[in-house]
Structure formats: C-alpha cells, structure tokens
Chains A and B, each alone.
Chain A
Amino acid sequence: MDVYRLAQEDTLVTQARRGDPSAQEAIYRAFETPVYGLARRICRTREDAEDVMQETFLEVFRSLARFRGDGSLWGWVRRITASKALMRLRRNKYRDADDLDEGFVDGPRDRTVLRMDLEAALERLSETARAVVWLHDVEGYTHDEIGRMMDRTPSFSKSQLARAHHRLRAWLGEEVAI
C-alpha cells in the first residue's frame, strides 16, 4: 500500500538530507497523519503515540542519508514508525494485562454477547494483538515481517492474529451480510 506518495520526492529528500527545514517540514506534513495513525493504532495512549511520532520524524531526519530510494519514502517511514511503536510497546509491556501469547483466556465477560463498535473492540485487545491485527490486516505486512519486527516467530504472529479475530468476532456479535 503506497497511498502517501510525495510529489517531487527525490528533490525533497535531497534538500532534507542537507538539513533544509522547508523540505523537512514538507515531509512532516505529508506523513504526519499516517505516522500518527499507525502509532496510535499500536500504542495504548495518545501521549505514547505522539512520542512515537516525534521519535519517528527525528529518526527520519537523522537517517535520510541512509534512505536509498529503492522503495517509496512512505514505505521507509512506515517501517520506522512501526518499529518505534513496537519498541514503545515493549517498554510499556507491564501495562499489557493479558500479555502476548499468555492472554486471550475467555472470561465470563466474553460469553455475554457484547456489541461493541470496532474501535472499542480494537482498543480492548492487548497491545500486541492489536499491533499484529493492524500491521497484518491494514498495513499489509506478512507474518514473517511482523515476527521479525517483534523479535518473535511468524507462528507467534499467526496465532496472535487468529486469537484476536476470534475475540473481535465475539465482541462485535457479528452478523454476516451476504
């Protein structure tokens, strides 16, 4: 997915590499929303997501010299965002009550038919599960890539995704419209 293609990307990158604030600002403006959006989907709080956004852009400006241009700039920025957000998630792990693979034990609450909207259901997933769902289903990363980014195996990513969908399905009380 490469929705965020910048006009005159090469020129902007060259100028931003030299430290030109106008070029840096153009890059920031172009990617501010998708970077924050991805960070917010992975992080638990708005504050964490804003910190991740800041860290991401700092890293982008610092490392532009290493951007080879063989993929899109957004693809590169997106990977930095995901990696920073996952790093934050690891740091905040203590907050993740139903942590990782030990989580997803159905409690009495889950047997009740709960109808939530998708945002609320997504929010209710553990940080790790939500990150896997978002990275795989929305951003299009493979289980191999997610496993690498999380320092886990592809199987870990697969089982997280399956359990997360199982839960989402229950929480959403879905009816299928064919």
Chain B
Amino acid sequence: MNHLTMEQLLELREPGREPGAGAAYRHFEGCEQCRTEADRLAQRVARLKALPSPRASRNRFLEIRSRFAAERRRRRFRAATLAVLALAASVALAVVLRGDGGAGDRTSAGAAAEAELREAMARSRDMEAALRAFDPDRRVIDGRTASIAFRLEDQLGAVDRQLEMLGLMPSSPEPVDRERLRLWRERVGLLDALMDVHLTRAKYAGM
C-alpha cells in the first residue's frame, strides 16, 4: 500500500468518520514514515494553537457604542414618529368634535404657556452652548460616567426627534402646544443632568 495522503492522515485524527479508515489505520500502525508524518502534523497544529493572539491597535468601544446608540435612536425615532402621529390624529379628532377651529380666542393661560415655552427654549440654547464650550468629547471619561452620559444623550435624541415631528405639524392646537412645552421642559432637564454629570466628573478629576 502507498503511504497515507495528507487527507488520510488528517482523517485519522477524527477516527471512525470515513469508510476505509480501518485500512488506513492498519497501514499507519506498521509504517514508520506515516507515523513520522503524523507527528509533524500534530506538532504543526500545536504550534498553530500556540501562536500569539494579534491585538487590535486601538480601543474601538466608544465607536461601537456610538454606532449602536445611533441605531437605537433611529429605532426610537420610528417609535416616536408613531406616537406623534397618534397624537396628531387625536388632536384632529378633538378639533373636529369641538368644531370651533381653536384659533379665535387665545386666553391669557395660552399666552403664559407660550412665554414659558420661549423661556425653556432659551434656557435649552444656553445650556447647549455651555456644554459645547465644555467640550466633553475631548475629555477622558470613565466607564460609569460614560454610561450615564450615553443614556442621557439617548434620551435627548428621542426628545429631539419628537420635537422635530411636532414641528412638522401644520397647525398648533392646544394639545400640541402642551406637548411641545412638555418636551422642551424635559430637554432642559436632560441637558441640566448631562452638564451635572460632566462637571461632577471634572471636579473629581481635578480639572
């Protein structure tokens, strides 16, 4: 019998799989050359297993995390879109049922709400400017702080999407204005919390 081929030698390492493996094994038992070849093979495999594991040149977690967060924001955006569409439908229904068109008498309560909205928007702008000036992206951040900051940024993203959707609505009946005010208040709260997270971390880090 000829010496075993590489395929047969490999097959012998997984015995009982192929018909004819018995004959190959009998040859192997009596053939010094094939046994030597099998030793070479075993040593080669052992050396392959012992090769050092290559390491990535840099930490890519933040990149992966921000891509993942962006995906989640897109998913939430779709959910928020549906929620806003549902709100729009209920507003339209309320307006039709009331039959007054809602445009005529703007009450003092309405004016107060509008003033409050303007104030919330201005505060949000100021806080965002302060956050930009602080430039958190350029600062080293520990895992726990990053975790809280990511969560707040996710929530901010969701609020922004809902505000965007409300902005697309042609008229501003009362329930929509109420929702808009609620979202701007929430935005201010989230920015406030985000600023707190960064400033507290900076304080502890002595920056």
Nearest B residue (CB) for A168:
B44
Cβ of A20 to closest chain B Cβ, rounded Å: 7
Q: Size of chain B's interface in residues, with CB distance under 8 A?
A: 39
Contact partner of B55 (CB less than 8 A), chosen from A33, A122, A134, A137, is A33
Nearest A residue (CB) for B150:
A21
Interface of B is mostly: helix
Determine whether the beta carbon of A119 is less than 8 Å from that of B51.
Answer: yes
Determine whether the beta carbon of B43 is less than 8 Å from that of A176.
Answer: yes
Determine whether the beta carbon of B10 is less than 8 Å from that of A165.
Answer: yes
Determine whether the beta carbon of B48 is less than 8 Å from that of A21.
Answer: no
Chain A 19-45 interface mask (CB, 8 Å, partner B; 1/0): 111101100110011101100110000
Chain B 68-96 interface mask (CB, 8 Å, partner A; 1/0): 10011000000000000000000000000
A50-B56 CB under 8 A given contacts A119-B51, A162-B5, A177-B43: yes
Determine whether the beta carbon of A174 is less than 8 Å from that of B44.
Answer: yes
Q: How far is the CA of A19 from the CA of B73 in the complex (A)?
A: 12
B11: chain A residues within 8 A (beta carbon): 158
Of residues 1 through 48 on chain B, the ones whose CB sits less than 8 Å from some CB of chain A are 5-7, 10-11, 14, 36, 39-41, 43-45, 47-48
Q: Which one, A52-60, A69-77, A94-102, is touching chain B?
A: A52-60
Determine whether the beta carbon of A34 is less than 8 Å from that of B63.
Answer: no
A12 contacts partner chain B, Cβ-Cβ < 8 Å: no
B151 contacts partner chain A, Cβ-Cβ < 8 Å: yes
Q: How far is the CA of A168 from the CA of B41 in the complex (A)?
A: 10
Contact partner of A21 (CB less than 8 A), chosen from B60, B67, B151, is B151
Given contacts A46-B54, A122-B51, A174-B40, 16 further A-B contacts (CB under 8 A): A19-B72, A19-B151, A21-B65, A21-B151, A24-B65, A25-B147, A33-B53, A36-B55, A49-B54, A54-B67, A57-B61, A118-B44, A142-B14, A158-B7, A162-B10, A178-B39
- Name B residues whose Cβ lies closer than 8 Å to a Cβ of A: 5-7, 10-11, 14, 36, 39-41, 43-45, 47-49, 51, 53-57, 59-61, 63-65, 67-68, 71-72, 143-144, 146-147, 150-151, 154
